[in-house]
Structure 1
Amino acid sequence: MAALAVTQTIGFGVLYYSFSVLLTPMSRDLGADASHVSLALTTSVLIAALGAPVAGRWLDARGGRVLMTAGSVLGTLALLAWSQVRTVAQLYTVFVAVGVASAMVLYEAAFAFIVARFAAPTRARALLAVTVVAGFASSIFMPLTGVLTSAYGWRQALVILAVLYGAAAIPLHALVVRRPRAGRTLPPAPDPAPAATPVPGRARGGAGERAALVRTATRQAAFWLLGAVFTLHGIGVATISVLLITYLIHLGHPPLLAASVAGLLGVLSVTGRLITTGLQRRLPAALIAAAIFALQAVAAALPLIGATTTGAIAAVVLFGLGFGVGTITKPYLLTERYGTTAYASLSGRLALPATVAKAASPAAALAVAHAAEYG
């Protein structure tokens, strides 16, 4: 878990969060509008979404060692290629590779390994450990990228980040993400599952068993209701992440205060994950998630109370507590209902619409605001 916490933190830091820091110097160097350059990150997110179901089938069938190690190599090479781009078209091409690498190494792949490796009580703690540490990726790598860019320029900063990522992620994924030895069965998780689910809780099943489970699950309304829940939650989180600072300034707050209030989201996401995992020992996970999502809905009062500093902080705190809850609740609910045999395949099915929606939602929100003539 320590190894995965390191690789997820560095992976999110360099493959995702570094982009916002490099956007301005990249745009200036490439002679392109920032809005055009920013589409590269959207491209990466969409490619990762499209790759999630494919990666899920591989993870269920063959485990994560080869996939995550190869993804680490690809991510390192993509970062090096990113440092050498001279046109926006080249940047888009590189970010296709970044998206493929992200599908191979980030949360979906790491969670699939954790679900297969650990029984239910330990699994929740393992998911928490990884996501709590990785939750600080933006807090670590956005300032670090800024320091490197100021000292060496954005191209050299990317080379340094690529070396850092490759030196950590490639050997750790190769050595730590191991499949069970032949003849050894991992401890079964005491996960209740529908009667149609064959042998729930086993770390690995046959291809026919996994395919049958996927067919059974995807024919159930409950599976797609879960998909709708996490897609809608992802839309809210993505929209607030991108537009919160702009909106707080619109409400009359100084830019520094707006950025400081928005900065609470990272700490609150970790807090929400700790609270959720602690409560799961006493209450159903679905009930906890519903309660926290309800708190986030109360935060929709931001337009009414956000003009004051206290009101803005209160709304952001309410919303921020659920910021990372979807990340750790989805694996729990999926394994609770369907077992672990086809977890990665089912998770990949849910990740595709959710990630596409998250990628498009900030721009869609702005389009709605424009159409409504809202300032």
Structure 2
Amino acid sequence: MHLPSLSTVASWLKTWQPAILLGVLTCGAYGLVLYGFGIIAGPIQEDEGWSSALVNAAFMGSYLLGAAASLVSGRVLDVLGPRLVLWSGLVVGTIFLMAASYVGNVWLFIVFWTLGGAVTIAGLFYNVTMPIAARLYPQRQTAAMTVLVTTGGFSSVIFMPLTGLFTEEFGWRWAVRILLVLAAALSLPAVLTVRRLPVIPPPEQPGQTSEQTTSVDRYGYASVGEALRSREVQVTIAMVVTSSFGLGALLNHFVPAATAAGLSLTASASLTGLRGFLSLPGRALIGPMATFMGLRPALGAGYFVMLLGTLCLLAAGPLWWIYLSAIIAGLVWGQTMPLQGLIASEVYGLRRLGTLMAIQTAAGNVALAIGPFAAGVLLDSVAGDYQPVLIAIAAMNALTFLLLVLLTRVRRRTLG
């Protein structure tokens, strides 16, 4: 086996530098706002005497407001380009999150964290970096997404242990401050270098036909409203919603479901770390799978395997079924969101991709937040029996798969 020459490596890095930098930016953005919060939440409650509900209200608020703010950032990205979106996400988000680390009042903490997290989510998460990567590499989107999400996938690997270390050594306030500086340092290269996107020509005017058609060309829909009237777009968004609902419920209820099946709490928690680690090779397989199978079959395989993973947890008599479920969830978790992003780019086109991806992400984030809550309500109604909960999650996985099958049969046409 021959190692690539230095000139080959240098050429590869030059070609993919923007995608790599966007991945590094995403790694920093997700680090504290998503992965780190779950680690500092406990110490915040202990040190400040604030209730769990109030502390976690900041996290929930950041995601709900972030979903709404993403609609604005997506539109700005389409109209003005990435510079304003990225700079706002970095500067404004960092200022508010830093302010949250200094306040001593729980309500101010909730306000500052909600605002800072929301701006970060709207300006620096995948709902922004994926459309940018797609616009930068219109002919090589699969490879660009693979580079982006594989690089960004190191976020949990880096930030979760660092958050625990810094919190233990310096307390949660200084941990937040240090991690914000680290996240800003990771984000700054992309913010400084990714300034403009290739120009997309105005939409072509469709010819008059006897059927109602959309003014859609190879760059996508002429307007957002026209896209949202398309059955293909509607099915795509519905598919992402059901996928996020089931995935959120499974990820948040995996540990209690595994312990209810007989696994120890320590072993169950360790499997969540294994799941996160396995998402990295899962992301790296996106390119080969998409090339070999095609985008929609590759995503269909992911959805089907996710259903099998849920059924493995449902069938957990022998404990190895639980380990198999965690392995499957980890590998597929790393693939589904990037593949959904690629299919979204294919369905929506590049012209309105920022806005439509923002709508898709907002709907998905709301479903991701509701899924665990709905599963908890169902669990309480059946006296703590996880079997009905897992059956419901499996049903949602199956519905997602069926929506993808429907998507392959839908033509691009507005509803009459």
Quick check: TM above 0.5? yes
Bigger shift: residues 149-158 or 171-180 = 171-180
Matched residue, 2:339: 329
Which residue of 2 is the match for residue 40 of structure 1? 58
Q: Partner residue of 1:176?
A: 193
Report the aligned-residue RMSD.
2.1
Paired amino acid for 1:115 = A
Secondary structure of the structure 2 residue equivalent to 1:263: helix
For each residue in 1:65-84, what CA deviation from the matched residue of structure 2 results, as whole angstroms up to 9, or x when unmatched?
A: 12101210112112211211
Aligned residue type for 1:235? F
Among residues 350, 361, 375, which one is paired with 1:351 in the alignment? Answer: 361
Q: 2:132 aligns with which of 110, 113, 117?
A: 113
**Cα offset, 1:113, TM superposition:** 1.0
Query: Which amino acid in 2 is paired with 1:364?
Result: A
**Is residue 2:273 matched to residue 1:256?**
no
1:185-196 matches, within 5 Å, as 185=199, 196=214
- 2:90 aligned residue (47, 72, 75): 72
Aligned equivalents of 1:198 and 1:71: distance in 2?
A: 31
**Any idea what SS the aligned residue of 1:281 has?**
helix
Structure-1 separation of matches of 2:318 and 2:279: 23
Secondary structure at the residue paired with 1:341?
A: coil
3-state SS in 2 of match to 1:253: coil
Letter in 2 for 1:107: Y
Residues 353 and 368 of structure 1, relative CA distance in 2, 3 Å threshold: same
SS in 2 for 1:96: helix
What's the TM-score once normalised by structure 2's chain length? 0.80
Q: List runs of 5+ in structure 2 lacking aligned partners.
A: 1-18, 202-211, 386-416
| Residue matched to 1:89 | 107
Query: Residue by residue, what CA displacement relative to the aligned partner does 1:51-104 show, whole Å, maximum 9, x if unpaired?
Result: 122111110001111210121011211221121122221121012211122111
| AA matched with 1:361 | G
**Cα distance between partner residues in 2 of 1:17 and 1:304:** 27
Aligned residue identity for 2:252: V
Matches within 5 A, 1:1-375: 1-97=19-115, 98-120=117-139, 122-169=140-187, 171-180=188-197, 185=199, 196-201=214-219, 212-375=222-385
Query: Closer, same or farther in 2 for the Cα pair 1:292/1:142, shift >3 Å?
Result: same
Instruction: Tell me, yes or no, if the aligned pair for 1:82 and 1:91 is still in contact at 8 Å.
Output: yes
Whole-angstrom distance in 2 between the partners of 1:270 and 1:314: 17
Judge conservation of contact 1:196–1:213 (CA < 8 Å) in 2: no
Runs of 4+ in structure 1 over 6 Å off? none
| Identity between Structure 1 and Structure 2 (%) | 25
3-state SS of paired residue (1:84): coil
Kindly tell me: are residues 351 and 304 of structure 1, through their superposed partners in 2, closer, same or farther at Cα, counting changes over 3 Å?
A: closer
Question: Gapped runs of 5+ residues in structure 1?
Answer: 188-193, 203-209
How far residue 223 of structure 1 moved from its aligned partner, in angstroms, is 1.0
Residues 297 and 319, structure 1, Cα contact 8 Å, conserved in 2: no
- Native 8 Å contact 1:268 1:321 kept in 2: yes
User: What is the Cα deviation at residue 351 of structure 1?
Assistant: 1.5
